[in-house]
Amino acid sequence: MFMRFQHFIRALILAIFAAFIIKLHYTGEIMSYINPRYTLMSKIAIAIFLFLFLIQLVRIWENRNHTHNHCSSGCHHDHDHSGSFSKRFIVHLIILFPLVTGFAFAPATLDASIAAKKGLMLPQVNEGTASMGEHLNRMGEATDEKSAESIEPPANKDDSIIQHTAPLANTNYLSKEQFDKEMEKLTTSDIIQMNDNIYASYYSRITEDPASYIGKKIKVSGFFYKEDGFEENQFVLARFLMTHCVADTSVIGMLVEFNEANDYQEDTWLEIEGEINVTNYNGHVMPFIKVDKLKVIDEPSEPYVYPAMIKIV
Amino acid sequence: MFSRQLQSYLFDVTGLVVMIIVFYFISASQSIGKIFSINMPSSFLQLNTIFLSILIEAIPFILISVLIAGFIQIFITEDHIKRWIPKNRFAAIFVSCVVGAIFPACECGIVPIVRRLISKGVPTYAGVGFLLTGPLINPIVIFSTYVALGSKMAGLRMGIGFIAALAIAFIISLLFKSNQLQHNGAGFSNTAVNTGKQHQSLFSKLEDMLKHAIDEFFDMGKYLIIGAFVAALVQTYVTTTSLFILGDSVAGSSIIMMALAYVLSLCSEADAFIGASFKNLVPSTSILAFLVYGPMIDLKNTIMLWGAFKTKFVLTLFILITLIVFLLINLITLL
A226-236: pLDDT as tens digits = 877 777 888 88
Per-residue pLDDT at B29 exceeds 80: yes
Q: What is the pLDDT of residues B239-296, one digit of tens each?
A: 776 666 655 666 778 888 888 888 888 777 778 777 777 766 678 888 899 999 988 9
Q: Give the residue from chain A lying closest to B31, CA to CA.
A: A104
In single-letter form, the type of residue at position A240 comes to F
d(CA A9, nearest CA chain B) in Å = 9
Q: Which helix (H) or strand (E) holds B79?
A: helix B78-84
The whole-chain average pLDDT of chain A stands at 74
With a CB cutoff of 8 Å and minimum separation 6, the contacts of B225 are A94, A95, A97, A98, B55
Query: Does any CB of chain A come closer than 8 Å to the CB of residue B49?
Result: yes
- The domain segmentation of chain A, as residue ranges, is 5-73+80-104, 112-311
- pLDDT of amino acid A155: 37
Contact A140 B237 (CB under 8 A): no
Q: What is the average pLDDT across A246-259?
A: 85
C-beta of residue A240 within 8 angstroms of C-beta of residue A110: yes
**Whole-angstrom Cα distance, residue B61 to residue B80?**
26
Contact B276 A159 (CB under 8 A): yes
Q: What is the pLDDT of residues B154-202, one digit of tens each?
A: 899 999 999 999 999 999 998 888 878 877 543 444 433 444 445 678 8
User: How far separated are the first and last CA of chain B, in Å rounded?
Assistant: 78
Q: At residue B159, what are phi and psi to the nearest 5 degrees?
A: -60, -55
**Whole-angstrom Cα distance, residue A155 to residue B159?**
20
Q: Which is more confident, A5 or B282?
A: A5
d(CA A122, nearest CA chain B) in Å = 7
Half-sphere exposure of residue A257, counting CA atoms within 13 Å on the CB side?
A: 11
C-beta of residue B50 within 8 angstroms of C-beta of residue B90: no
Both B51 and B61 in one domain: the answer is yes
For residue B311, count CB atoms less than 10 angstroms from its CB and return exposed for 0-12, middle for 13-18, buried for 19 or more: exposed
Both B202 and B294 in one domain: the answer is yes
**Whole-angstrom Cα distance, residue B51 to residue B236?**
10
Both B47 and B159 in one domain: the answer is yes
ipTM of the complex as predicted = 0.81
**Maximal CA-CA distance, chain A:** 81
- pLDDT of amino acid B252: 79
The residue among B52, B71, B265 with the most chain A CBs within 10 A of its CB, best to mutate, is: B52
**Whole-angstrom Cα distance, residue A65 to residue A69?**
6
Q: Give the residue from chain A lying closest to B281, CA to CA.
A: A140
- pLDDT of amino acid A74: 42
Q: At residue A296, what are phi and psi to the nearest 5 degrees?
A: -80, 130
Both B206 and B326 in one domain: the answer is yes
Query: Does any CB of chain A come closer than 8 Å to the CB of residue B279?
Result: yes
pLDDT-based confidence at A48, cuts 50/70/90?
Answer: very high
The torsion of the CA quartet A37, A38, A41, A43, rounded to 10 degrees, works out to: -60
d(CA A134, nearest CA chain B) in Å = 11
Both B7 and B27 in one domain: the answer is yes
Query: Does any CB of chain B come closer than 8 Å to the CB of residue A74?
Result: yes
d(CA B321, nearest CA chain A) in Å = 23
Both B115 and B190 in one domain: the answer is yes
d(CA A291, nearest CA chain B) in Å = 26
Q: What is the average pLDDT across A270-274?
A: 90
pLDDT-based confidence at A15, cuts 50/70/90?
Answer: very high
The residue among B44, B214, B249, B286 with the most chain A CBs within 10 A of its CB, best to mutate, is: B214
**Whole-angstrom Cα distance, residue A44 to residue B67?**
13
- pLDDT of amino acid B39: 77
Q: Which is more confident, A107 or A204?
A: A107
User: How far separated are the first and last CA of chain A, in Å rounded?
Assistant: 57
Both B27 and B132 in one domain: the answer is no
pLDDT-based confidence at A170, cuts 50/70/90?
Answer: very low
Q: In this structure, what DSSP letter does residue A263 have? A: G
Q: At residue A170, what are phi and psi to the nearest 5 degrees?
A: -170, 160
**B213-242 residues touching A, CB cutoff 8 A:** 213-219, 221-222, 225-226, 228-229, 231-232, 235-241
- pLDDT of amino acid A77: 45
Percent of chain B with pLDDT over 70: 90
**Whole-angstrom Cα distance, residue B228 to residue A285?**
39
Give how far the C-alpha of residue A48 lies from the chain's centroid of Cα atoms, to the nearest Å.
Answer: 25
Q: What is the average pLDDT across B41-54?
A: 89
Contact B279 A245 (CB under 8 A): no
The whole-chain average pLDDT of chain B stands at 83
Per-residue pLDDT at A120 exceeds 80: no
**Whole-angstrom Cα distance, residue A69 to residue B196?**
9
Both B11 and B33 in one domain: the answer is yes
- pLDDT of amino acid A63: 64
d(CA B89, nearest CA chain A) in Å = 29
Query: Does any CB of chain B come closer than 8 Å to the CB of residue A113?
Result: yes
- pLDDT of amino acid A183: 79
Q: In this structure, what DSSP letter does residue A211 have? A: G
The residue among A248, A267, A286, A312 with the most chain B CBs within 10 A of its CB, best to mutate, is: A248
Q: At residue A306, what are phi and psi to the nearest 5 degrees?
A: -125, 150
User: Between the ranges A12-21, A202-211, B27-36, where is the mean pLDDT highest?
Assistant: A12-21
Q: Which domain holds residue B51?
A: 40-335
**Whole-angstrom Cα distance, residue B12 to residue B14?**
5
Q: What is the CATH number of domain A112-311?
A: 2.40.50.200
Both B225 and B249 in one domain: the answer is yes
C-beta of residue A253 within 8 angstroms of C-beta of residue A220: no
For residue A123, count CB atoms less than 10 angstroms from its CB and return exposed for 0-12, middle for 13-18, buried for 19 or more: buried
Q: At residue A249, what are phi and psi to the nearest 5 degrees?
A: -75, 150
Least confident of A72-86, A207-221, B28-42, B90-104: A72-86
- pLDDT of amino acid B321: 94
**B95-114 residues touching A, CB cutoff 8 A:** none
Number of domains in chain B: 2
Both B23 and B50 in one domain: the answer is no
Per-residue pLDDT at A133 exceeds 70: no
Contact B192 A10 (CB under 8 A): no
Q: What is the average pLDDT across A51-59?
A: 90
Parallel, antiparallel, or unpaired: how do β-strands A217-225 and A234-241 relate?
Answer: antiparallel
- With beta carbons under 8 A apart, name residues in chain B contacting A250: 273-274, 277
